[in-house]
Homo-oligomer: A and B are copies of this chain.
């Protein structure tokens, strides 16, 4: 049983439940002066990640001009991460595509595509955790101020759950642990090979690409999965 409520000082018995929890409530009752909450499992909100790229400070200088600062178009759920209005043309072996940059700058350039995108652009890209780009294909990036040829960095993101250390401890999950996530609905399925990533810099969300999102027919309102630990 996991209770992740934040106590509401206006009532001793009022909890504001996080969506991960609220959706898996099965039964709530009092027993021997204790509040008993029975849940169906450990649930997590799922988000779909569209194709995007990350750039280094050095690459940003070349693409957009020395000292250019990325702007914030929309904050993402992971703390400090944001969609920018800045776009880069990624030149694939077969086609090119214009992708949004996700800020802030990172140590290395990285292009994240779905397998459908990669096939369409002509990349034979590996399925990798973010940051693990060794041996992945490179490509040309074109910005308004210049071009950069990256020697590696094109990947298909491995599906993953971001967890705060608190949630990970409560769920009994450790960093790098591989779990499964069950999704219900019209295209119910169980995602295997879901890697858990635990950091105080994260918020607790699952990320899948749009192939995975659509294969499960997820939609914004109901994108909740149940983590299965075996």
Contact = CB atoms under 8 A, between A and B. Distances in A.
Interface of A: 114-116, 119, 127, 159, 186-193, 208, 210-212, 214-217
Interface of A: prevailing SS: mixed
Given A208-B215, A211-B215, 16 more contacts: A114-B214, A115-B217, A127-B217, A186-B193, A187-B192, A187-B193, A188-B193, A189-B189, A189-B190, A189-B192, A190-B192, A211-B211, A211-B214, A212-B215, A214-B215, A215-B216
Contacts of A212: 215
Nearest to A191: B189
Contacts of A187: 127, 159, 192-193
B211 A116 contact: yes
Nearest to A184: B192
A33 to B, nearest CB: 40
A220 B217 CA distance: 24
A115 B217 CA distance: 8
A217 B127 CA distance: 9
**Nearest 7 pairs of A and B residues by beta carbon:** A188-B192, A215-B215, A115-B214, A211-B214, A190-B190, A212-B215, A211-B215
Nearest to A115: B214
A115 to B, nearest CB: 4
Nearest to A212: B215
A191 to B, nearest CB: 5
Contacts of A188: 192-193
Contacts of A216: 215
Contacts of A193: 186-189
